[in-house]
């Protein structure tokens, strides 16, 4: 199974314009209390509302642990090709 990875870095706007001066925020806070750090390398994390793959300024919700492992492997493989 091939999965296309689509990621949007926090703070990105269409056309590559960044609304933040300096670094984009590295912590996301949601109204349900979930907080995610998006800095650092790609990794999986579990919160009360499910699994996420986070890192390099992005956050991607996953359907379950297996989905998170697959997305993480794809991202790491793509990162190695760069």
The whole-number mean pLDDT for each consecutive block of 10 residues of the chain, a chain of 82 residues, reads: 44 49 72 90 93 93 96 91 56
What per-residue confidence (pLDDT) applies to 74?
Answer: 95
The full set of domain ranges for the chain reads: 14-81
The answer to whether the CB of 72 falls within 8 A of the CB of 56 is: no
What per-residue confidence (pLDDT) applies to 65?
Answer: 97
Helix (H/G/I), strand (E/B), else coil: 14? helix
What per-residue confidence (pLDDT) applies to 64?
Answer: 97
What per-residue confidence (pLDDT) applies to 30?
Answer: 86
Residue of 6, 25, 14 whose CA lies nearest to 36: 25
Q: What is the pTM of this model?
A: 0.66
């Amino acid at each position: 199974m091939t999965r296309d990875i689509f990621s949007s870095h926090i703070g990105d706007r269409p056309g590559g314009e960044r609304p933040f001066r300096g670094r984009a925020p590295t912590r996301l806070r949601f109204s349900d209390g979930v907080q995610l750090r998006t800095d650092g390398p790609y990794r999986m994390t579990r919160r009360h509302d499910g699994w996420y793959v986070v890192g390099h300024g992005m956050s991607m919700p996953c359907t379950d642990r297996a989905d998170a492992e697959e997305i993480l492997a794809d991202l790491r493989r793509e990162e190695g090709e760069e």
